[in-house]
């Protein structure tokens, strides 16, 4: 698959999920290579509160649907990197 263009709002997500979708902090999931439909649904569920994660709801609140979709495509297209250590 072709690599999507780098999303303009990537920095917002990258602080916790990394630019390539490998989690940077405890509690945050890896997103690299995750199924696109799953990521889209997760974003929808965070936005409408059916997944009640205040940080995620606040983070994506101001982001347009088009930008969210670009972010989902970006992360889904990344290749997961081996992690050095699992806790």
> Least CB distance from residue 5 to a second copy, whole Å?
16
16 is an interface residue for a second copy by CB under 8 A: no
Name residues contacting a second copy, limited to 40-69 (CB under 8 A). Answer: 41, 50-52
38 is an interface residue for a second copy by CB under 8 A: yes
CA distance 65 to 19: 20
CB 62 within 8 A of CB 55: no
37 is an interface residue for a second copy by CB under 8 A: yes
- Nearest CA-CA partner of 80 in 37, 25, 20: 20
77 is an interface residue for a second copy by CB under 8 A: yes
């Amino acid at each position: 698959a072709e690599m999507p263009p780098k999303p303009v709002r990537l920095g917002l997500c990258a602080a916790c999920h990394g630019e390539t979708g490998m989690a940077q902090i405890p509690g945050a999931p890896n997103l690299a290579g995750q199924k696109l439909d799953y990521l889209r649904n997760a974003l929808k569920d965070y936005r409408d509160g059916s997944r009640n994660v205040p940080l995620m709801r606040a983070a994506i609140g101001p982001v347009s649907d088009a930008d969210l979709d670009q972010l989902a495509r970006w992360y889904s297209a990344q290749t997961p990197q081996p992690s050095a250590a699992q806790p």
